[in-house]
Each structure stands twice: as C-alpha cells, then as structure tokens.
Amino acid sequence: MSKKDNSIFLCESCGNEFSTWSGKCSICGSWNTIKEVNFKTDKASSKQLNTHLEISKISDVVVKSDYRISTKISEFDRVLGGGIVPGSIILLGGEPGIGKSTILLELANNIDNTFYLSAEESVSQIKMRADRMNVKNKSILMLSESDLESVLHEVAKIKPTLLIIDSIQTVFVNGSESTPGSVVQVRECGIRLQQFAKSHNISVIIVGHVTKEGNLAGPRILEHLVDTVLYLEGERYNDSRILRGVKNRFGATNEVGIFSMKEEGLREIKNPSELFLSEYENSPGSVITVALEGNRPLLIEVQALVIPTHFGYPKRTCSGFDLNRLNLLAAVLTKKTKADLSNYDIYLNVIGGIRLSEPAADLAVCAAILSSFKNRALNKDICSFGEVGLAGEIRNVLKAKEREKEATTLGFKILPKFKNISELFEYI
C-alpha cells in the first residue's frame, strides 16, 4: 500500500478530513490549517460485531440527577452547575501561567481519591507546588507518564473519583506514528478518555493548551467530545482570574466564577463587585457600569481619556473592550451630540482585567468619553447601562431589574433614563 493510501488531510481548526490539500478549509474558512497526517490500517484486525447490545426504554432509565461531586469551591461549582457530574469529562483551557494547574491541584486537595497525571512536570515538582499551596490531602495519587493506555490501565484498577490529565498535548496513544500534541494524537487521546470516563463512571478533567488567538489548540473535535468546556481568563500581571463555562451539558453556559491569584494559590471572590470597585475614585472619565457575566451582574469601572490629537488621524485604543465598537460609539457621539471627537484621541480601559462584550456597556462607555471630553465627573454613586444605536437612541437591555438590584445593594443609583445620547451630553 502506498504512502498516499495511508494519509489524509486534517484541518487543525475544525477537525474535518479532506482527501487533498488546500490552502483554505471549506468548512470553517480558516487558512493554512490543513495538514497531512499518516495513519496505519490493518484489515486483518477488524473487530467482530457486538450482537449483545442492551437497548433500554427511556421510561425504564433511572437517573440520579441531583448527585454531583462538590469541589468545595463555590465559584467552581457555580460554573459547573452545582458540581462535577460523575462520569463526565471536562476540558479546561487557558494561557500558560494563568493558573490551570494551580486550580486543579486545589480540586485534588478537596476531592478524596483523586488521580493526578502530569506529563509536563515530575512528581517532585508537583509536590513542591502542593507544599507552597499548603495542600493537606495525603490521598492524592500522582504520576508523571506520557503513555495514556498504560495510565488508563492502572487507573481502571484504582477507580478514583476524579482523574486529572495535565495536559492532553503531552500524552500519546501507542500505534500512531504522530508525535504527542499533533492533531491525530489529540483526537485519539480525547476519544480514549471519553470512552474511559463513560464506561468506568470516572470524572475526567483535561487541561488543553491554547493558541496565540486564545482558542484551544488541536482539532475542534476535542471540544465536541467533552461534556464541559471551561476557560480560565485574566491578565497575567493582574491577580484577578475568571473561570468561564462556554459549554456545559449539565448546566447553564457562559456562567463565570471569579478568583484572585495569591501566593498560596487561587482564592475565590465572594463579592466580585467590591473587588473591582475597591480603588474606585470619582474623577472625569470614570464611570461605573453593571455588566452581566453569565447570570451574574457585576459592577465594573470604565475609564476614558480624551485628549486632542497631534496627528492628522485620531488614535483609538482600548483595553477590555472591542475597538470597532469604540469607533462606532465615537462616530455616534460626533454625529448626534455637540462633542466633535474627530480631532481627539480616545483611550478606553476596563478595570480589573474584565472584557466587556455585551452591548449593555455602550452607555457607560459613552458617558465616560463625554465626561473626559467635558472634564466633568459624574456623581460618585451613579452607574449606567444601556445599548446605544446608530441613531443615537438608548435601548433597553436584558435583565435590567437584576442589574438595578445589584447596583442598589452596593449603594449606587442608576443614571436617569434618557431617550437618546444627546440628553446624556446635556446631563454631563
């Protein structure tokens, strides 16, 4: 059999297979992601059909829907929907150094009979981090090995409550010529772990590396195989961390947990609004908004700096906010108010490492820009939220009552309800 018969072309972004190479994937539209992979076929080793399949009526299936494994970390349990479902498989992604291994070691400390597999670190290195974090659970089982089949063989004998794989890019399955971390190996390891978790009813948490764009490395099929996908986000030089659930078969998606990185590990934040407002000062260009992270309203400070430009083209820079959205709002303010921003640079910053992606932050951003433009500070107890349209109108947003309740609890008042952005200009 020729080499051509033993190779396929696989898209690293979406995982779809092709018979020939092309520069652009016709499924997901990504460029330069189709790679040639080799595989072995053995027709003589085909499996026999299983003629003893157990088929059940849905009415006869008994489900213990209320049983979950508590991690004893309320913010983590919140994202999962109440805890870890036995037999589920969870994928945890995040940038290097963001705290993935740290939070997993804390889970191992809180859950008895946990098996921690690390192919990136030695057992002594894990022990050093455990001592620094003051881990007291002596029943944690640790192993530094890359051969996944050998590990699963031993894990099946031990039958732990939780299996942690750190990380899937460093383990491999025998029988493939591909190196660990390749498209084929990541997919094969993901399939083996999924089958193992379901057949042995053992919960599995997999650590996945991310690309420079912030997406999970490897084929997209890995995200389809797992039950839950979690991202640990945050600025490396900021101590706040956000655990975000982007997929959850057993709970709500887009739920978030807030943590703070300390010397002894990650610590959950019970009241994140107070954390983000701890250093808030009433000054021109500073406005409080109520953002919705998952199902939780958070009070976040938005800062804007508007200064005359020294070049022919005004500069727009933002951190924690979409740059295109900032340009759109600046154009609306220039068109619909007396604030001509065409000759002004605008710098926007969201405090605390939070990224505002929902339209409800539009009104606060506009208020911060106008406040800096006029050099007038809003009242210290004022916060705002609302979507701004291209005609300058201010629209309602989802869960307005929940946002108002959170603001009132922390002693803030909602900005008077304006019909359009020009009324906001006159108010400031």
**pLDDT of amino acid 1:** 41
User: Is residue 58 in a domain?
Assistant: no
Domain closes at, from 204, 237, 270: 270
Question: What mean pLDDT is predicted for residues 296-317?
Answer: 91
One domain, residues 250 and 368: no
User: Is residue 48 in a domain?
Assistant: no
One domain, residues 391 and 378: yes
> Half-sphere exposure of residue 7, counting CA atoms within 13 Å on the CB side?
12
**pLDDT of amino acid 65:** 61
Question: What mean pLDDT is predicted for residues 270-282?
Answer: 80
Distances (CA, A) of 263 to 27, 71, 117, 132, 241: 45, 21, 23, 8, 14
Which range has highest mean pLDDT (224-233, 321-330, 408-417)?
A: 321-330
User: Is residue 316 in a domain?
Assistant: yes
Domain closes at, from 270, 303, 338: 270
Exposure string for 22-37, b = 16+ CB within 10 A, e = fewer = eeebeeeeeeebbeeb
Q: Is the whole-model pTM more than 0.85?
A: no
- Residue 101: closest CA among 127, 139, 82: 127
Distances (CA, A) of 340 to 55, 206, 214, 365: 70, 52, 36, 16
Residue 281 has a CB neighbour count (10 Å cut-off) of 8
One domain, residues 360 and 297: yes
Only one residue has tokens 């003051």, namely 134
pLDDT digits (tens, 9 = 90+) for 165-217: 998 988 998 876 667 877 778 888 999 999 999 999 999 999 987 765 555 55
Residue with more model confidence, 48 or 131? 131
User: Is residue 165 in a domain?
Assistant: yes
Lowest average pLDDT, out of 48-52, 188-192, 250-254, goes to: 48-52
Structure tokens belonging to residue 245: 């659930």
One domain, residues 240 and 288: no
Lowest average pLDDT, out of 15-24, 303-312, 393-402, 417-426, goes to: 15-24
One domain, residues 230 and 111: yes
**pLDDT of amino acid 45:** 44
**pLDDT of amino acid 327:** 95
Structure tokens belonging to residue 8: 């396929």
Asked if 69 and 112 count as a contact pair (C-beta separation under 8 A), the reply is no
The domain tally of the chain equals 3
User: Is residue 331 in a domain?
Assistant: yes
Domain that holds residue 97: 64-270
Identity of residue 372: S
Question: What mean pLDDT is predicted for residues 17-39?
Answer: 80
Asked if 4 and 149 count as a contact pair (C-beta separation under 8 A), the reply is no
One domain, residues 245 and 135: yes
Asked if 231 and 241 count as a contact pair (C-beta separation under 8 A), the reply is no
Domain closes at, from 270, 287, 317: 270
**pLDDT of amino acid 42:** 46
| Domain harbouring 293, CATH code | 3.30.230.10
Cα(202)–Cα(155) distance, integer angstroms: 10
| Domain harbouring 102, CATH code | 3.40.50.300
Per-residue confidence at 48, pLDDT binned at 50, 70, 90? low
pLDDT at 269 over 70: yes
- Residue 204: closest CA among 175, 167, 247: 167
User: Is residue 152 in a domain?
Assistant: yes
**pLDDT of amino acid 260:** 86
Question: What mean pLDDT is predicted for residues 64-77?
Answer: 85
One domain, residues 252 and 283: no
**pLDDT of amino acid 282:** 85
One domain, residues 340 and 388: yes
**pLDDT of amino acid 312:** 80
pLDDT digits (tens, 9 = 90+) for 393-409: 999 999 999 999 999 98
**pLDDT of amino acid 169:** 87
One domain, residues 140 and 228: yes
**pLDDT of amino acid 2:** 46
One domain, residues 189 and 326: no
Q: What is the H or E stretch that residue 18 is in? A: strand 17-18
User: Is residue 303 in a domain?
Assistant: yes
pLDDT at 313 over 80: yes
pLDDT at 218 over 80: no
Lowest average pLDDT, out of 140-154, 226-240, 345-359, goes to: 226-240
User: Is residue 225 in a domain?
Assistant: yes
pLDDT digits (tens, 9 = 90+) for 354-406: 889 899 999 999 999 999 999 999 988 999 999 999 999 999 999 999 999 99
DSSP 168: G
Question: What mean pLDDT is predicted for residues 338-357?
Answer: 90
* β-strand partners of 9: 18, 36
